[in-house]
Structure 1
Amino acid sequence: MDKVSQYERVFKRFDENGDGKISPAELRQCIEAIGDEKLSEKDAEAAVTILDSDGDGLVGFDDFVKFVEGVKEEDKVNDLKEAFKLYDMDGSGCITPRSLKRMLSRLGDSRSINECQLMISKFDLDGDGKISFDEFRVMML
């Protein structure tokens, strides 16, 4: 089953009356049915307002997909931040040849400082000899 089919299935579960839109009331019912969480009417209306791109007070399928994809992108960025921290051992906010060498050694891949400098230079977009989080993100995505 592809992503769009999965999204459609979930969307249809929220869209109880089948009109192709999710209302605040439908959002509340679905959230309560899925888990122990209760969503107030005010919070449901606020959520729909945020997600509603055409201003009709309802969430269409395209709005729903954008929201789900946005959440997934945020999860990816959080995962990348965790991975980046493994290489940024000294907390400097960047991966240096020395920190890359240490991490690779921990992973059983022994490299020289020169080899690590060469590896970094391939992804060092600003030429400072280090990999920032933004450069790491470009490299990984």
Structure 2
Amino acid sequence: MPEYNLCSLSEEEETEMKHFFTKYDVDENGMLELDELQKMFANFNVIALKEDIKAFFERVDTDQDGTVDYDELMAYIEQIMAEKCSSDDVLDAFNLIDEDGSGEVSHQEVAVAMQKADVGIPAEDIMYLLEEADLNNDGTISFSEFRSLIFGL
């Protein structure tokens, strides 16, 4: 069975984060200012008060220079992931669904598991969720994709 590290991003996820950071670094100075961060939140449809975004900004801006660089953002994300993944619950859930131990689960395996768990989500909504989670459209959900689905990364 493959080994997974719940507390770090995969290379693919790191590349995606770098892409998003660069996309919102409009002035291309390698740092996000508060207004750039607000645009990022808006584009992700995060509804937050300006005060909340400012508080988040100040928490992530560890060197207190009025900007958030990529390393600060990644350190914050890694801290959040470490807090969220301090237990093996997500890995245990994935392994329960991954009955054959392949390290990937089919859409059907996830749908059956969710129906058995009686989560109260209609089958068509489950299938939509799975299609969204299958980032590389290969018909299976890797642990990385599963983790992203659970953590909303």
TM-score normalised per structure 2: 0.45
**Larger Cα-atom Rg:** 1
More RCO (CA 8 Å, sep 6+): 2
TM-score normalised per structure 1: 0.49
